[in-house]
Structure 1
Amino acid sequence: MTRTPKEAVLGLWRTLSERDYAGIADWVTDDCIYLDVPVGPTLAARGPEDIAKRLRVGWGGLAAYENHDGLLVAEGDDVMYEHSETWTFASGEVFTLDFATVHRVRDGRVCLWKDYWDYGAIMNNAPASWVEGLATADTSWVYDASGEI
C-alpha cells in the first residue's frame, strides 16, 4: 500500500493521539529522527522504539492527552502540520500547547519529525512533580542528530 505524505503524517498523529507507542513503527522509518527543536538536536531520538521511549518521558505520566488537528500543508515529501495538544496531568493541571511540526516522508513513512513549541509554556504550566521527573527520566533514547537535520 502506498501512502501519500499527508496520509502518513495524519496516520502517525492518529496513532500518537491514542498514545499507541507500539503503533508508531507503522508510521515512521527505522532511521526516523524525532526532535523537539526547543531542546536541540543533541536530545533527539532515532527509530520507532527510541521515539516511543522519548514520548513516554513527556506523556507517560499524563492522565489524558489529546491532539487537535490544524492546518496541514504538503509540498512533495515535506509536510508541515500546525496543531495543538491538550495535556492533562494526574494532579489535575490542564493546558494546551501550540505546535508547528515539520515532517519529511519517505516511502509512505515519516523519516524526519521536528516539533516546534514554546518551552516556557510547558515549564510554566506543568506541575513541579512532572518537571522534577525529567531529571530522572529514561534517557536511553538520546541520539545526537547534530549535522543530520
Structure 2
Amino acid sequence: MSENNKALALKMWRALAEHDWDTLKSCLHPDIHYRDMPSDDPGAHGPDNVVRRLSIAWDHIERQEQITHHIAADGDVVFLDHTEKWIFKTGETAEHTFATMHEIRNGLIYRWSDYWDMNKFISQFPGWFLEVMASHTAADFGGES
C-alpha cells in the first residue's frame, strides 16, 4: 500500500508542475483539505477549491520545477521533502524547500499539508504578485472568511 500511496503523491505533484488540473483532481479525495500550515488561512476544501486556490499562483507562473529530495510512506501517510522553483511569466523566479504531508483515504489524497518558511519564500515574490494574492480571501476556496 505504501508504494501505491507514494506513486499517487508523485503523480499529483507531476500534474501540478504540468498545470494538468484534471489529473491533479483525479488524485484528490472529494473531501480533500489542502492547507499551507505556516499561514492562518484555513486552506481549501474539495478538489475544485484546491485547483481554484492553486490557480491564483499558477495563472502567473510560466512553469514550476519540482525536485523531490526524499519521499517516505508509512501506511496511509506520505511525506515529501522537495524544492519548488517558480518561474513567473514576467521572468522573476522564487525557489524554496517544502515538507509536505499527504494523508491517503480510499486511494486518494484526503489531507495535504505544506510546511515551509513563509517569510523566506514570500520575500522572493514580485510585488505585483503579492497584490494578486492579497486580493483573495479564504471564502474564495470554501474556507472561513
**In the alignment, which residue of structure 1 is the partner of 2:8?**
8
Cα–Cα, structure 1 residues 142 and 38, in superposed 2: closer, same or farther, change >3 Å?
Answer: farther
Matched-pair contact (CA < 8 Å) for 2:103–2:110: yes
TM-score normalised according to structure 1 size: 0.87
Equivalences for 1:1-149 in 2 at 5 Å? Answer: 4-40=4-40, 42-137=41-136, 139-144=139-144
TM-aligned CA deviation for residue 78 of structure 1: 0.6
TM-aligned CA deviation for residue 142 of structure 1: 3.9
Look up the SS of the partner of 1:43 in the other structure: coil
Greater length-normalized contact order (CA 8 Å, ≥ 6 residues apart): 1
TM-aligned CA deviation for residue 4 of structure 1: 1.8
Count of paired positions: 141
TM-score normalised according to structure 2 size: 0.89
The alignment-based identity, stated in percent, is 30
TM-aligned CA deviation for residue 22 of structure 1: 2.3
- Amino acid aligned to 2:46: G
Taking only aligned residues, the RMSD between alpha carbons, in angstroms, comes to 1.6
Q: Please give the alpha-carbon distance, in whole angstroms, between the structure 2 residues aligned to 1:99 and 1:58.
A: 16
Structure 2 unaligned residues grouped into runs of 5+: none
Please list every run of at least 4 consecutive aligned residues from structure 1 whose deviation after the TM superposition is greater than 2 angstroms.
none
TM-aligned CA deviation for residue 91 of structure 1: 2.4
Matched-pair contact (CA < 8 Å) for 1:17–1:65: yes
Q: Please give the alpha-carbon distance, in whole angstroms, between the structure 2 residues aligned to 1:109 and 1:71.
A: 20
Q: Please give the alpha-carbon distance, in whole angstroms, between the structure 1 residues aligned to 2:51 and 2:97.
A: 21
